[in-house]
Chain A
Amino acid sequence: MKLAVETKRLVKVYRNGVRALDSVDIDIPMGRITCLLGPNGAGKTTFLRIIATQLLPTSGEAFVFGYDVIKEADEIRSRIAVVPQEGRPYLMVTPLDELYMGARIRGFSRDEARRRALDILRRLDLYEVRNQKIIRLSGGQRQKILLGRTLVSDADLLFLDEPTIGLDPVSRRSLWEDILNLKKMGKTILLTTHYMDEAEALADKLYIINKGRVVASGGVSDIISSVGLKTAVYIIADSPGVEEELSGYRFEHIGNKYLVYVEDRKDLFDLVKLAVENGYIITIKQPSLEDVFIKLVGGYEEVYS
């Protein structure tokens, strides 16, 4: 698969001595959504700013579309666009002004810039408010304006640093739709987040980073299965024979509620069969990205071991 971004042993040590990236190798495939997931201070923004040519690395190599971020920044800059973390539009201008500006700096003629701006505003559901001052718009609308300002650019590679921060669940989902549409248009997207559901919904490829290091990478389901967490099966049964039926498994119980950990699919299948045949109530909790994240990044004591 062709790569839009490739980094090798990328290191960033800030002037105050903080080692924000510690030998990071990240590949971003073309035409896909790649997510960087990590807790606060993991180094996501640092990574993004280095490949967006906003920040110089301390050592290591980084290429965007084959161009070196240090020596060939100008080549890269005309092909990328960013939504910076916690960026804000000007409050006294209108959504149309913002997008028109975004298109004009990319070299589109006045008419073309206006046409593109209106088109994107329509697509982002901002057309109705295009001539309102941004100070009167909601946080979600402002966030969409920042996204729109990069979309008018026609850049192939978009960097979105926590684009859904502070949005309500409905607005977040609507922004996800917009981001998925970008993929359909053939754009390559790098998105940082610390929301699990966002990564689950959007990522074709996921990197979990912590303290400046990549701790897991791959597709979401690959990552979950590679970590080797077990599936938790809850069975509620009041028949006296149940303990015997479960004797082949490792289980614990409180009264009638049994908790069984299974590793392979056959065991899971057998348990479902057992429950259905005997009329037990069964609840299956497969390991989620959140469980994996907690295991890899730490937090509280591991739930499954």
Chain B
Amino acid sequence: MRRSIVRIWTICWYNFLPIIRNPLTFITIVVWPIIPMFFMGVFLGEEGVRQGIIGMIVTSVSFSGIYVAQDYVFNRTITKLQDFFVASPVKEYEYIFGISLSSLLTTLIAVLIGYLFILYLGIASILKLIYFTLVILAGALMLLPLGFLIGSRFDDAGRVNGLTNVLAIVFSFIAPVYYPLDYIPEKFRIYTYFLPTTHIAHLSRLILGLTDVKGLGITYHLTIIVVISIFLYLIGRKYSRWREV
């Protein structure tokens, strides 16, 4: 058990090093989700910032799934790091946890900045903030397996990067993430439910009282997140590639 934790932590640390050693990348990763919130603040005032914070946090969390996809394929096909770990005491779950944690760590700064804004603007009580945190964690648990699934389906790191960039745009800008569901005409709302980030963002707004639209309601959105997570986890497991066949 202890050794397992050490291995997870070591892999997390090692995978995280290139990011902090490369300050420009790190700044981009942190700043990118903040930019839309900034402009919303400039053009829409405080209400813009309130909505934008949710967008920024959800986007950061969805990025963690995307980094995982990129790391997973890069380590398998380019650095051969996965082969190195397979032929070692490292277990598959330790590796998966390790690179997931380092992805979460990468997004942590932007998420923390979001929390500071929430506290500063007095958007939520501590209790609501705890519920909100749980939703964000559930969101991460949904998007990380998606990342692994994408990373395992392709052998070409370039294609994974391309695909995840498109997904990032769809997940943060097509889905009502930076703005509430209220802005989408009622009959189109159903289509946004096909995007996983919609559920995370809307659930967050319901909890923090940042939307007038009920959507599917807290229970259903939460159920959908859980169901998608379990589904992705199961097919992720099926397609996972540790020892190859």
B-binding residues in A (CB < 8 A)? 15, 49, 52-56, 73, 77-78, 80-82, 84-93, 97, 101, 104-107, 133, 149-150, 153, 159
Contacts and interface: CB of A to CB of B under 8 A. Distances in A.
B61 to A, nearest CB: 24
A53 to B, nearest CB: 6
Contacts of B81: 87, 90
Most-contacted residue by chain B among A78, A80, A81, A82 (CB, 10 A): A82
A88 B86 contact: no
Interface of B: 3, 6-7, 10-11, 13-14, 17-18, 21-22, 78-81, 83-90, 243-245
A105 B244 contact: no
Contact of A92 (B7, B22, B85): B22
Contacts of A88: 78-80
A80 B87 contact: yes
Given A56-B245, A82-B83, A92-B18, A105 B10 contact: yes
B89 A87 contact: no
Nearest to A146: B84
A149 B84 contact: yes
A84 B84 CA distance: 7
A54 B83 contact: yes
A35 to B, nearest CB: 19
A105 B87 contact: no
- Name A's interface SS: loop
A51 B150 CA distance: 28
B93 to A, nearest CB: 13
A152 B87 CA distance: 14
Given A84-B80, A104-B10, 7 more contacts: A52-B86, A53-B243, A54-B83, A56-B243, A93-B14, A105-B85, A153-B88
Contacts of B80: 84-88
Contact of A54 (B10, B14, B90, B244): B244
B95 to A, nearest CB: 10
Contacts of A82: 83-84, 87
Contacts of A15: 245
B87 A55 contact: no
A83 B202 CA distance: 48
A150 B81 CA distance: 12
Given A55-B244, A82-B87, A159-B87, A87 B79 contact: yes
A114 to B, nearest CB: 13
Most-contacted residue by chain B among A54, A85, A91, A92 (CB, 10 A): A54
20 contacts: A53-B86, A53-B87, A54-B244, A56-B243, A56-B245, A78-B88, A82-B87, A88-B78, A90-B81, A91-B18, A92-B17, A92-B18, A93-B21, A97-B14, A101-B10, A104-B6, A104-B10, A105-B7, A105-B10, A150-B84
A65 B11 CA distance: 28
B243 A81 contact: no
The 9 closest A-B pairs by CB, nearest first: A84-B80, A87-B80, A92-B18, A92-B21, A104-B10, A84-B83, A52-B87, A82-B87, A101-B14
A81 B245 contact: no
Contacts of B86: 52-54, 77
Contacts of A56: 243-245
Contacts of A149: 84
Contact of B87 (A54, A91, A92): A54
Contacts of B85: 105
A54 B18 contact: no
B89 A106 contact: yes
Nearest to B94: A105
Contacts of A91: 18
A5 to B, nearest CB: 13
A133 B90 CA distance: 25
Nearest to A80: B87
